[in-house]
């Protein structure tokens, strides 16, 4: 089955991530069937869809011809039978995922690709009880899924190369950036980096070096601006100036031995630390609701991605490619 024939997607789980997938698909004209037992699922999905429509209008001049339908069902098999692609976004509980992925694989047509949104569990374990496990892989997206381009593709031991390629083509057709993970590893690439940063941030709060708001400011007025453009290595290449990357690395080496992070310890995540962070986070939010903050975030992502469009570089370039493809398809 080629990408163009994916007209209907089954989603296992309709939470923050599943809802984001529903929105990305629907705005591509793809029909979605969401399996979710939460009685609030419909309302939550509609709120995510409203935010996603707003962001999509702001981001691109390419209009949505016909928005896909989003149907919520309380039966897993109903969400998996008769669809052309399945994406699972359940809570991060391995046993639950293994069981529902197995059931989904028995309900689906044998050629239908099945991907898990897990941010850390290993694909070889998740595919262990599946029917036709060669069509399964991890495809790890980022919140909000309807705006964030990255999707990390990590095959398990039984996954076929062809499945990875078909999945990557599908995500690419939806304006995403599939990134192949070279080896099966817990938490893949981006979440390992996020986790490393997050642990250090927890220490800074724990030790009263900075509040959560000050840490967020340190990132967003500082390295965060560069990370959005260039990641880490290219930034350091420039930090080295004319002397070049080798020289920079040779100088940088010793600092790995300096006490610049608390990397050899993990803070105890007790109630006191939870309470401290949560209270500081409430102060930072200053009464703004989650939906309000989501709109601020979405406006910012739109501004960044659109801003980068003129550069032939990074996420903006992806948007330009996507728009060109859509325009070409119609003309």
Q: Tell which positions 128-157 bind its own copies, by CB under 8 A.
A: 142-143, 148-150, 152
Neighbour-count burial of 183, counting CB atoms closer than 10 A to its CB (0-12 exposed, 13-18 middle, 19+ buried):
exposed
Q: What burial class does residue 118 get, using C-beta atoms within 10 Å of its C-beta: 0-12 exposed, 13-18 middle, 19+ buried? A: buried
207 binds its own copies (CB under 8 A): yes
- Rule CB under 8 A: choose which of 215, 319, 322, 326 binds its own copies: 215
Q: Which of 4, 272, 296, 325 binds its own copies (CB under 8 A)?
A: 296
Across 153-172, b (16+ Cβ under 10 Å) vs e yields bbbbebbeeebbebbbebbb
Q: CB of residue 307 vs its own copies: minimum separation in angstroms? A: 3
Report yes or no: 102 and 71 within 8 Å, Cβ to Cβ: no
Determine if 283 is a binding residue for its own copies (CB under 8 A). Answer: no
From the list 62-70, 72-80, 128-136, 202-210, the region that binds its own copies by CB under 8 A is 202-210
Residue 116 CA: distances (Å) to CA of 2, 18, 105, 119, 152 = 20, 10, 12, 9, 11
Distances (CA, A) of 14 to 11, 90, 178: 7, 8, 22
The nearest distance, CB 174 to its own copies, in angstroms, is: 14
Of the candidate residues 1, 74, 278, 325, the single one contacting its own copies (CB under 8 A):
278
Q: Strands, DSSP E only, in the chain?
A: 8-12, 31-35, 70-73, 85-88, 113-116, 136-140, 150-155, 177-180
Give the helix, strand, coil percentages of the chain, each rounded to 5: 55, 10, 35
Is 95 a residue that touches its own copies (CB under 8 A)? no
Nearer to its own copies, 87 or 105 (CB): 87
CB of 94 to its own copies, least distance (A): 11
Of 67, 77, 78, 195, which one interacts with its own copies (CB under 8 A)? 195
Rule CB under 8 A: is residue 305 a binding residue for its own copies? Answer: yes
Task: State yes or no: residue 284 binds its own copies (CB under 8 A).
Answer: yes
Shorter beta-carbon distance to its own copies: residue 7 or 220: 220
CB 180 within 8 A of CB 168: yes
In this chain, which of 6, 55, 101, 201 binds its own copies, going by CB under 8 A?
201
Residue pair 203/118 in contact (Cβ under 8 Å)? The answer is no
Query: Is residue 31 close enough to count as binding its own copies by CB under 8 A?
Result: no
Q: How far is CA 149 from CA 107, 125, 288, 305, 317, in A?
A: 30, 26, 26, 10, 11
Provide the mask over 49-88, with x wherever binding to its own copies is found by CB under 8 A and - wherever it is not: ----------------------------------------
Contact residue for its own copies among 307, 321, 324, 325 (CB under 8 A): 307
Residues 232-261 that bind its own copies (CB under 8 A): 232-242, 244-246, 249-250, 252-253, 255-261
Residue 122 touches its own copies, criterion: CB under 8 A = no
């Amino acid at each position: 089955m080629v990408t163009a024939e994916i007209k209907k997607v089954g989603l296992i789980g309709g939470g923050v991530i599943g809802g984001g997938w529903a929105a990305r698909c629907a705005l591509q004209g793809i029909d979605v069937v969401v399996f979710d037992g939460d009685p609030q699922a419909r309302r939550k999905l509609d709120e995510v869809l409203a935010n996603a429509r707003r962001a999509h209008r702001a981001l691109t001049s390419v209009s949505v011809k016909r928005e896909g339908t989003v149907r919520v069902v309380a039966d897993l098999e109903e969400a998996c039978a008769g669809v052309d692609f399945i994406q699972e976004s359940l809570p991060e509980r391995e046993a639950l995922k293994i069981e529902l992925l197995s059931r989904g694989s028995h309900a689906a047509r044998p050629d239908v690709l099945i991907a898990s949104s897990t941010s850390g569990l290993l694909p070889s374990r998740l595919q262990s009880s599946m029917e036709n496990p060669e069509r399964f892989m991890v495809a790890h997206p980022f919140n909000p899924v309807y705006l964030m381009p990255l999707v990390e593709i990590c095959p398990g031991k039984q996954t076929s190369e062809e499945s990875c390629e078909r999945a990557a083509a599908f995500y690419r057709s939806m304006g995403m950036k599939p990134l192949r993970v070279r080896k099966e590893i817990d938490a893949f690439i981006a979440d390992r980096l996020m986790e490393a940063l997050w642990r250090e941030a927890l220490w800074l709060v724990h030790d009263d070096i900075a509040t959560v708001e000050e840490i967020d400011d340190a990132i967003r007025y500082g390295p965060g601006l560069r990370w959005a453009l260039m990641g880490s290595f290219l930034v350091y290449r420039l930090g080295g100036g004319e002397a070049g990357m080798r020289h920079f690395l040779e100088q940088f080496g010793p600092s790995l031995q300096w006490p610049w992070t608390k990397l050899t310890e993990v803070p105890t995540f007790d109630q006191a630390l939870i309470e401290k962070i949560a209270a500081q986070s409430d102060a930072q939010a200053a009464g703004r609701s989650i939906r309000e903050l989501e709109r601020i975030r979405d406006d910012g992502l739109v501004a960044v991605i659109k801003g980068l469009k003129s550069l032939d570089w990074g996420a903006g370039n992806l948007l330009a490619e996507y728009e060109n493809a859509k325009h070409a398809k119609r003309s």
